[in-house]
């Protein structure tokens, strides 16, 4: 619910006050996906059900695996108070100031198996097969849930100065400058087993933006030309960026800077002919932020062994704590020694990974981590020292993304459109219109590698509108994406447990149709 009170005084001062409250609850929210024959773990790893206790034990004749996420309960309580004041210094100069306090309390009780679950034919209750991944000491099959609670609050506000000068060469002009602080609340990452994942915060922070804008809106030539321009600078703190782990989106926080300009114009060469155009330039930059590129877990290092985990299909790596400080032969000997001791018909010796400077091997990441802890000098290797233990550089060698551009942020955008209103007998009007939009190059991920590049593309739309006298009725025929462009507009890479395939988003294909409307 929300309540507001606003003043309407005759003088220069007015105000607005308000508050809101929301309580939302959810129960028994399940998500399950039946895996296909192309699923990596169904085709290979899904057949391995007991490994490392001597020799591998294989189970065949089982049903296909599935991915299951179960939210038993969720709750959001949010409240806020806000207010604005308006002060007119004169008829053409106005100041607006506002503050807002927001408070979000979140709770979730959920579980999520890491690996696809093999279901024997004839199973009537799959719950007994689901593994416990809430990070506690309960044995598999206990079906306990991970509970997370968090409070996210923030004080935000804005200041805007509007000036409408009287100029001889414009009919109407507005000049404005503003500062705004905004906030996007934080939240919870999905439940996970710390023995099988890299260190990931259970919660991610709220995102804060300090936005500075200055701009002007103008009408020239008696209304025949409108010209608007804006320049902006956005400073983000704890900007929320996502990555895919266990086929689920996890969020991290980083700082970022964004700045740019936007210009738009509307021109009417004649009463019936209108042309509109716009242009924008955008520059983005990531501040100091390090994470693992799942397509390059060794980060180019030649002294790293990349491990494909036979239990989870995730990747982990073995690496010296200082690059080049330990011969690769020593690291290979440790990995191959563990694999041999683990009983390995299916565990192969480490081999050179094609196209990289690194070696790779199949193994068991958690057990291998424990083995290395017990068989290497302290400080020789990089280990996760968290309570879960057992992992050593779990996802790979981190890469620093400082200075990279943000994903899905094209530097340039242009558009132009034209419409002609042809007047027919009896007060009818027919209006053909064409619009062309251009989007410049961008990146599909924050890593900014050549594989992430998204090429520039254009799209053309067209329509014809028939309007009745006094706008009582209209009929419109339209074609979107006239030339049926299949340009890629976005992409993202899945995690190693699902094969590191790339998902792409494309423009919608050519579509056409008709619409009509009436005025009563």
Instruction: Specify the CATH number for the domain of residue 146.
Output: 2.40.170.20
* 372 and 436 both lie in a single domain: no
Per the structure block, which two tokens stand in for 244?
């895919």
* 382 and 492 both lie in a single domain: no
Q: 3-class SS at 336?
A: helix
State the residue range of the domain holding 367: 305-400
Rounded CA separation 59/48 (Å): 7
* 149 is a domain residue: yes
If one counts the domains in the chain, the total is 3
Per the structure block, which two tokens stand in for 235?
């400073």
Place of tokens 């308000």: 18
List b or e across 493-508, with b for residues whose CB sees 16 or more CB atoms inside 10 angstroms.
bbbbbbeeeeeeeebe
- If we measure between CA atoms, which residue out of 357, 335, 358 comes closest to residue 348? 335
Per the structure block, which two tokens stand in for 1?
């619910």
User: Could you tell me how many residues make up the chain?
Assistant: 520
* 271 and 176 both lie in a single domain: yes
Per the structure block, which two tokens stand in for 203?
């919660």
Place of tokens 């960026």: 241
* 56 is a domain residue: no
* 178 and 321 both lie in a single domain: no
Between β-strands 359-363 and 399-400, what pairing exists: parallel, antiparallel or unpaired? unpaired
Task: Pick the range with the lowest mean pLDDT from 247-256, 299-308, 344-353, 454-463.
Answer: 344-353
Final residue of a structural domain among 265, 289, 313: 289
pLDDT higher than threshold 70 for residue 128: no
CB 292 within 8 A of CB 496: no
State the pTM of this model.
Answer: 0.82
Rounded CA separation 146/233 (Å): 40
For 196, phi then psi, to 5°, come to -120, 0
Instruction: For residue 497, give the DSSP letter.
Output: G
pLDDT digits (tens, 9 = 90+) for 87-112: 999 989 999 999 999 999 998 887 66
* 65 is a domain residue: no
- If we measure between CA atoms, which residue out of 489, 404, 409 comes closest to residue 455? 489
State how far the alpha carbon of 28 is from the alpha carbons of 73, 74, 111, 225, in Å.
Answer: 6, 9, 11, 57
* 317 and 457 both lie in a single domain: no
330 against 142, higher pLDDT: 330
List b or e across 70-94, with b for residues whose CB sees 16 or more CB atoms inside 10 angstroms.
bbbebebebebebbbebeeeeeeeb
* 375 and 458 both lie in a single domain: no
* 4 is a domain residue: yes
Average pLDDT, integer, range 447-470:
95
pLDDT higher than threshold 90 for residue 414: yes
* 312 and 283 both lie in a single domain: no
* 72 is a domain residue: no
Strand residues in 35-145 grouped as ranges (E): 48-50, 57-58, 62-90, 93-111, 117-120
What pLDDT is attached to residue 196? 55
* 274 and 309 both lie in a single domain: no
- If we measure between CA atoms, which residue out of 146, 139, 136, 123 comes closest to residue 62? 123
Report the percent of the chain where pLDDT is more than 90. 47
* 2 and 139 both lie in a single domain: yes
* 81 is a domain residue: no
Rounded CA separation 204/188 (Å): 6
* 284 and 311 both lie in a single domain: no
* 193 and 272 both lie in a single domain: yes
Report the percent of the chain where pLDDT is more than 70. 77
- If we measure between CA atoms, which residue out of 481, 390, 417 comes closest to residue 193? 390
What pLDDT is attached to residue 349? 72
Final residue of a structural domain among 381, 400, 419: 400
* 64 is a domain residue: no
* 447 and 324 both lie in a single domain: no
* 294 is a domain residue: no
Final residue of a structural domain among 240, 259, 289: 289
- The set of residues, in sequence order, having a beta carbon less than 8 Å from that of 53 and lying 6+ positions away, is none
């Amino acid at each position: 619910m929300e309540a507001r009170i606003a003043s309407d005084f005759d003088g220069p001062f007015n105000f607005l006050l308000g508050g809101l409250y929301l309580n939302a609850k959810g129960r028994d929210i399940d998500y399950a996906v039946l895996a296909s024959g192309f699923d990596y773990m169904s085709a290979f790893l899904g057949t391995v059900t007991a490994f490392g206790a001597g020799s591998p034990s294989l189970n065949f004749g089982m049903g296909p695996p599935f991915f299951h996420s179960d939210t038993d309960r969720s709750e959001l309580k949010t409240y806020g108070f806000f207010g604005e004041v308006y002060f007119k210094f004169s008829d053409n100069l106005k100041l607006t100031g506002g503050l807002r306090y927001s408070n979000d309390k979140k709770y979730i009780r959920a579980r999520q198996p890491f690996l696809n679950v093999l279901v024997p034919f004839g199973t009537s209750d799959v719950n007994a097969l689901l593994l416990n991944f809430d990070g506690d000491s309960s044995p598999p099959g206990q079906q306990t849930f991970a509970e997370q609670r968090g409070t996210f609050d923030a004080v935000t506000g804005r200041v805007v100065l509007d000036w409408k000068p009287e100029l001889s060469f414009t009919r109407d002009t507005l000049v404005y400058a503003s500062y705004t602080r905004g906030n996007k609340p934080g939240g919870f990452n999905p439940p996970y087993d710390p023995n099988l994942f890299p260190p990931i915060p259970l919660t991610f922070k709220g995102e804060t933006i300090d936005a500075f804008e200055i701009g002007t809106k103008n009408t020239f030539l008696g209304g025949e030309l409108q010209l608007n321009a804006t320049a902006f600078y956005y400073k983000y703190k704890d900007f929320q960026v996502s990555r895919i782990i266990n086929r689920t989106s996890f969020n991290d926080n980083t700082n970022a800077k964004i700045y740019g300009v936007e210009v738009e114009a509307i021109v009417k060469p004649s009463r019936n002919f209108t042309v509109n155009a716009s242009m924008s330039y955008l520059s983005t930059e990531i501040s100091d932020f390090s994470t693992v590129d799942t397509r390059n877990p060794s980060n180019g290092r030649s002294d790293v062994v990349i491990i494909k985990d036979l239990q989870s299909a995730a990747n982990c790596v073995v690496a010296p704590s200082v690059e080049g400080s330990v011969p690769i032969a020593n690291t290979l000997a440790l990995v191959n020694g563990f694999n041999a001791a683990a009983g390995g018909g299916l565990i192969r010796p480490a081999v050179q990974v094609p196209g990289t400077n690194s070696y790779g091997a199949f193994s068991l990441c958690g057990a291998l981590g424990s083995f290395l802890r017990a068989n290497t000098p302290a400080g020789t290797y990089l280990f996760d020292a968290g309570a879960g233990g057992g992992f050593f550089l779990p996802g790979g060698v981190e890469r620093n993304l400082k200075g990279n551009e943000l994903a899905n942020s094209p530097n340039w955008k242009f558009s132009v459109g034209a419409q002609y209103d042809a007047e027919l007998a009896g007060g009818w009007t027919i209006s053909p219109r064409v619009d062309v939009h251009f989007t410049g190059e961008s990146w599909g991920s924050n890593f900014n590698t050549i594989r992430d590049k998204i090429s520039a593309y254009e799209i053309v739309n067209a329509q014809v509108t028939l309007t009745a006298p006094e706008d009582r009725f209209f009929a419109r025929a339209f074609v979107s994406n006239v030339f049926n462009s299949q340009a890629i507009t976005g992409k993202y890479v899945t995690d190693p447990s699902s094969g590191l395939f790339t998902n792409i988003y494309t423009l919608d294909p050519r579509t056409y149709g008709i619409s009509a409307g009436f005025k009563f």
